C-alpha cells in the first residue's frame, strides 16, 4: 500500500465530506452552518490542492482544476461571511447566508467531481 496515495485519497474525501457537512441544512438559517466548519473545509481543501500539485498527467490537471475551483468558491464564501459580519451594519442576513451556502454547494460539486475522477483513475489502474 502506498502511503502517499492513501493520504491523497484521504484529504480529497475529507474535503468533500467537510463541505457537505457545512452545505447541508436550511440555506438561510445561520445556525445550520457553522463558521468553523467552513474554516475546516477551506484548510483541508487547501491541503488537498497542495497534494495535487505533484501529478503531471492529464487526470492530475483535472484534479488540480477541480480543487482550485473549490478553493476559490470556499474562499469567496468566507470573504462574504466576513464582510457581512464585520463590515455591514445589518450583520448576517438570510439572503447573505443563502449566498454563502450556495458557494459552498459549488465547492462541494467540484469535490464530488474530484472524487469521481479519483475512483475512475483507481479502477483504470493496472498492476
Task: Determine the Cα–Cα distance for residues 116 and 109; give it in Å rounded to an integer.
Answer: 11
Which distant-in-sequence residues (6+ apart) come within 8 Å of 111 by Cβ?
12, 15, 16, 19, 45, 66, 67, 70
- Domain limits, the chain: 3-124
pLDDT at 82: 95
pLDDT at 5: 84
Backbone angles phi, psi at 73, to 5 degrees: -65, -40
Q: How does pLDDT run along the chain (127 residues), one tens digit per residue? A: 788 889 888 999 999 999 999 999 888 888 889 899 999 999 999 999 998 887 778 888 898 999 999 999 999 999 999 999 999 988 889 899 999 999 999 999 999 999 999 898 888 876 5
pLDDT at 52: 84
H helices present in the chain, as ranges: 3-23, 35-52, 58-86, 94-124
Total residue length of the chain: 127
Are the C-beta atoms of 66 and 111 separated by less than 8 Å?
Answer: yes
pTM for the full predicted model: 0.90
Triad 78, 34, 45: Cα angle to 5°: 50
Amino acid at each position: 500500500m502506498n502511503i502517499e496515495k492513501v493520504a491523497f485519497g484521504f484529504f480529497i474525501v475529507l474535503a468533500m465530506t467537510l463541505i457537505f457537512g457545512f452545505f447541508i441544512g436550511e440555506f438561510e438559517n445561520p445556525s445550520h452552518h457553522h463558521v468553523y466548519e467552513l474554516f475546516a473545509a477551506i484548510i483541508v481543501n487547501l491541503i488537498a490542492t497542495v497534494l495535487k500539485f505533484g501529478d503531471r498527467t492529464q487526470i492530475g490537471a483535472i484534479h488540480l482544476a477541480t480543487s482550485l475551483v473549490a478553493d476559490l468558491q470556499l474562499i469567496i464564501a468566507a470573504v462574504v461571511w466576513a464582510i457581512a459580519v464585520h463590515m455591514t451594519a445589518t450583520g448576517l442576513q438570510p439572503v447573505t447566508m443563502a449566498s454563502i451556502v450556495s458557494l459552498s454547494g459549488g465547492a462541494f460539486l467540484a469535490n464530488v467531481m474530484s472524487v469521481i475522477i479519483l475512483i475512475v483513475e483507481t479502477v483504470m489502474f493496472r498492476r
